[in-house]
Amino acid sequence: MTIGEWLSDTSKTIERLDAELILQHFLEVDDRSYLVAHAEDELSDASAIDAQVARRAEGEPLAYILGYREFYGRRFFVTTNVLIPRPETETIINIVKSIGPDRILDVGTGSGCIAVTLSLELPNAHIDAADISEDALRVAQKNAAHHGANIAFHKSDLLSDFQPEPNTLIIANLPYVDADWQWLDHKTLDYEPELALYAEQGGLSLIYKLIDQYPFNAAGLILEADPSQHQAIIDYAKGHNLNLKDQQGYILYLAN
């Protein structure tokens, strides 16, 4: 079977783009144009990727099948112990770059995509990253090592076990999904760790707890949450004399 034949066959079962990415990964080529240029080449032992195609057809996210996802133009290892990095989270990177802080703490670092990206984009900043999950921290450490990022990692329940130095900008993409939200694609979410997705109180319990813990001497707070939750978070923060503002899309932002 040729590359072209395999692609048109497989595209009957899964999205063509997914089929292309599985094949590129198998052939160890980065460029999609390779598949076009080599459409007539014989594909030896394509059965080796049948299992990956079947997993995708079952609904498993491609990132877990391939073991990585791109974030802010870089590749991050993922396992089922971490959330798959989302494009909406990339907004945080642009906001933090425009602030240019000296110290950053990424709370709930997961794959480490935020902390590692900021370490590379802002090489003079001191970066701490924390997560309650040791499995997630292992993935984040692997990503930091892979990208040569210098980050201090900490196992901590929010800020209970690790407190940042004064003047640290705190960033948190914490779990904010309410288990009752029917409009979400639960088939995909079923593959991701519950610890990374769900929170009590309509998805807001961890964000509220972080606001409770926000140190008076921090340099600011950037949160990700669903836009439908923003007003409730803004109101809660007001009760703590914090003026959070709606930023872009999913992001809430407070700068001192």
Instruction: Enter the tokens of residue 43.
Output: 């594909």
The pattern of x and - marking residues 197 through 236 that bind ligand SAM according to CB under 6 A reads ---------x------------------------------
For ligand SAM, which residue of 83, 105, 223, 252 counts as binding (CB under 6 A)? 83
Q: How far is the CB of 158 from ligand SAM (least distance, A)?
A: 4
For ligand SAM, which residue of 10, 62, 85, 151 counts as binding (CB under 6 A)? 85
Q: How far is the CB of 39 from ligand SAM (least distance, A)?
A: 36
For ligand SAM, which residue of 10, 89, 117, 119 counts as binding (CB under 6 A)? 89
Kindly state whether residue 195 participates in binding ligand SAM, applying the rule CB under 6 A: yes
The pattern of x and - marking residues 2 through 41 that bind ligand SAM according to CB under 6 A reads ----------------------------------------
Kindly state whether residue 175 participates in binding ligand SAM, applying the rule CB under 6 A: yes
For ligand SAM, which residue of 101, 110, 164, 203 counts as binding (CB under 6 A)? 110
CA neighbours within 13 Å on the CB side: how many for 27?
A: 22
- Are the C-beta atoms of residues 20 and 11 closer than 8 Å to each other? no
- Under DSSP, the state recorded for 46 is G
Length of the chain: 256
- Collapsing DSSP to helix, strand or coil, 161 comes out as coil
| Distance linking the first and last C-alpha atoms of the chain | 62
Kindly state whether residue 113 participates in binding ligand SAM, applying the rule CB under 6 A: yes
Task: Please name the residues in contact with 63: beta carbons below 8 A apart, sequence gap of 6 or more.
Answer: 69, 78, 84
Type of residue found at 19: A
Instruction: Enter the tokens of residue 63.
Output: 């990132």
Nearest to 118 by CA among 130, 106, 131: 106
Task: Please name the residues in contact with 142: beta carbons below 8 A apart, sequence gap of 6 or more.
Answer: 77
For ligand SAM, which residue of 196, 219, 222, 251 counts as binding (CB under 6 A)? 196
Kindly state whether residue 131 participates in binding ligand SAM, applying the rule CB under 6 A: yes
Q: How far is the CB of 145 from ligand SAM (least distance, A)?
A: 17
Kindly state whether residue 111 participates in binding ligand SAM, applying the rule CB under 6 A: yes
Type of residue found at 171: I
Can you point out the beta strands (E) in 54-110? 68-71, 74-77, 103-107
> What does the binding site for ligand SAM look like in residue numbers (CB under 6 A)?
82-83, 85, 89, 107-111, 113-114, 130-133, 136, 157-158, 173-175, 195-196, 206
